[in-house]
Every structure is written in C-alpha cells, then in structure tokens.
Amino acid sequence: MPAFDASSAFNAFNASDRPTLLLTGGSGVLGRALIEELAPGFRIVCLRHRTGVADPRVEEVPADLTQPRLGLSPSDLARLTADVDLVVHSAAATNWKAAPEAIWRANLDGTAAVLDLAARAEAPVYHVSTAFVANPLAPEEQRRFPGAAAYLASKTAAEQAVREAAVPTAILRPSVVMGDSRTGRIAGAQGLTRALGAIVKGQVPVLPGAPDARIDMVPQDVVARAVGELLRAGATGGEYWLTAGTQALSQGEVVDVCLEFAEGYGPRPHPPRLIPLESVHRLLLPLIEGPSFPESLRRRFHTYAELLLVFQRALPFDSSLGAPHCGTTVSRDDLRQALVRNLAAWSAGPGGLRRAPRASYGASSARRLAS
C-alpha cells in the first residue's frame, strides 16, 4: 500500500491552517499525552463518549464506538468526512471486568467503524494496538481470565481489519504505558499502577511469575513522541513496537524499586514471594478459588495474576524506538527513574501513602536517580 505523504501535507499548512486530526481515546492515559504532543501542529477533533477531554486546544464531538457509524449525527459525520486529514485511533475497551462481548464490540466493531469513516474521508489511520498481542493466553488462562482473553483476541482481530483497510494505515504497539517520565503524573490509575502501589504498602504476600520475567513499561511521553514523529513523517504501511525491548526491567527489579521507594516512608515492607507461573495455575489459583479463602484477598490476587500473566514476558519484545521517525530509545536507568517518579506521583494522590517521605530519604533518593 503506498505511503500517504503526510509530511508534504503537514508542511503545506501554516500555523493558522493546520491539518485536522481525528483522535479517539483522547481522555485516556495515552490520549492525553498525544494531545500534548500533537496540539502544536494539528487541529485536533476528539470523539467523546462518557468522559470529556475538557481541553481548549481540542474540539469534542459526541460519539460511541459500539454504535453504527460511531453513533455520529448525520451532520457531524458529513463534517468529519469533509474535514479530517488523518486519524489516530487510540480508544479501546481496557476494563477486563467487562463482559467479553462488550470488549469485542468496542475493540473490533469500533475499529471497523473508524476505518469506514477514514475511508470516506480518504484519510490514513494510525491504529494504537498493544504489544501484548504477542502474548496469547493458554486455554486454561483464557478460561480463568475471560476479560483479558477477549481484550487480546479482539485487539489481534482489529489489527487484521486495519491491515485490510482501504486507506493507508500504520499499527502502533505500545507496551504498558506509564506516567510521564519527568513528572510521573498519569491521567488515571491503571491496574498495574495499583499493583505496584500495593507492593509499596506491603499488601502483596505473593506475586505470580519469575524474578527475571520482563515487565515492559514505557512512559507516556516517550510513546507520544514516537507517534508524533511517525505522523509528521507520514509513515504508513508499517507496524511499530513502542516498547522498552531489551531494556525492559525484570519483575525482580520492579519489586526492588517499589521496596526501595517504600523505605523512604517507613520500614521496608516484606518482599512478596515470586511464584513460577506453572505453580500459580496448578496450586495457587485453585487454592484461592476455594470457599475458605478471604474474598477481598481472592479478588486482589486474581487481579494481579491476570495483569502479570499478560504483562510479563520471558523474551524481550522487538522495539522500534530509536528507528527513523520513531522517537528515542529508553535505557534501563531511564525506566528505573521513570518508575520512581511514577511511584512518587502515585503516593501523593488518592490511594497513595498520603504522608511525606522521611527527611533522610530526599538526598539518597536524588543520588539514586542521578546514578
């Protein structure tokens, strides 16, 4: 499929007449970062479902991914068809507690509707998928975790629909999107953020997975910068892995960072015991699913098991970061620093530690971040 020359189109516009970019998922973690990255060069129109963006740089249009033609009014559909120059499809159903059929509707039918609108507008589509399509669940995992299974399968099917689209496309595969690498702030608490917070609080006695399993996380601004460069270069027809790759932290390293961070606020929590995945399936999950196990602990561990089964990986992902027009690479030290800043932002917010770090922690923490 020939590449859409967005770079020529982009340069043809001046600051007062910018190309129009249709963005879905603008209120999400990555969507907010994309607005920061793209607002200077594009006129952004966001499709809004439940949560508005409330950003003066953005025009919002009511829509619904699960409805025919995105639930757009005839006038909005006609206007977008006439005005849109390119599309970034970042919206997805990511709540694994939702019914599997609802996840499929949003992720596959929604993508098909976005592609149909793009075809009407003759606009290229940049589809935000997930690197974890490379982590298919085993049949036993699919039975125990139907939400995660539906998410991964629907994202895989959506990618195929994108490849078969009538317009130029690019598939973007970020891994876990963390908060900002400089401030640590994130638009909303994600499941993995809550799991890391529970480790800091010493509330996690066991975790599924080996210490050397990789947990691939990339800060939101790093992902957004790569997407911005791809758009401005007009890169289509490719699949881009927006991941840490070989630099991803291991699960053992992530736990150590959490425990070191907790030490700044009080005694170091007891480290969680890391249990091999085969033992999780054969012994631990059947045990906690029994009637004698406390319901609150059962729910918590089930959530952590679901997250970590999807988000950990024995081998590193491929990574496109640092390739031409695809942002910059991240080092293991970059990721450790970003994780500490993410924990600091979490600790100051709802559900965090809600207390100041010990006075002696500031200098030692600064030294660790600088090293």
In this prediction the pTM is: 0.89
User: Would you call 62 helix, strand, or coil by DSSP?
Assistant: strand
Domains within the chain, CATH numbers bracketed? 1-174 (3.40.50.720), 180-216+245-314+331-362 (no CATH)
Average pLDDT over residues 48-75: 92
pLDDT of residue 59: 96
How does residue 11 score in pLDDT terms, banded at 50, 70 and 90? very low
Q: Which helix (H) or strand (E) covers residue 170, if one does?
A: strand 169-174
How does residue 15 score in pLDDT terms, banded at 50, 70 and 90? very low
Residue 44 has pLDDT above 90, yes or no: yes
Cβ neighbour number for residue 263 with a 10 Å cutoff: 16
Nearby residues of 202 by Cβ (< 8 Å), 6 or more positions away: 262, 269, 270
Residue 9 has pLDDT above 50, yes or no: no
How does residue 71 score in pLDDT terms, banded at 50, 70 and 90? very high
Nearby residues of 16 by Cβ (< 8 Å), 6 or more positions away: none
Helix boundaries (H) for the chain: 6-12, 29-38, 74-83, 100-104, 110-121, 139-144, 146-163, 191-200, 220-233, 251-263, 277-279, 285-288, 295-311, 332-347, 361-370
pLDDT digits over 77-107, tens only? 999 999 999 999 999 999 998 999 999 999 9
pLDDT digits over 297-322, tens only? 777 777 877 888 888 888 999 999 99
**What does the DSSP 8-state code read for residue 107?**
I
Residue 366 has pLDDT above 60, yes or no: no
Cβ neighbour number for residue 77 with a 10 Å cutoff: 17
How does residue 256 score in pLDDT terms, banded at 50, 70 and 90? very high
Q: Pairing mode, if any, of strands 43-48 and 58-62? A: parallel
Average pLDDT over residues 200-223: 92
What is the share, in percent, of the chain residues with pLDDT greater than 90? 66
pLDDT of residue 352: 84
What is the share, in percent, of the chain residues with pLDDT greater than 70? 90
Between 143 and 188, the more confident residue is 143
Torsion of CA 276, 282, 284, 289, to 10 degrees: 150
Between 111 and 2, the more confident residue is 111
Cβ neighbour number for residue 289 with a 10 Å cutoff: 11
Average pLDDT over residues 2-17: 46
Amino acid type, 99: A
Q: State the DSSP string of 281-313.
A: IIIIHHHHTSTTS-HHHHHHHHHHHHHHHHHEE
- Say which residue the tokens 């098909």 belong to: 112
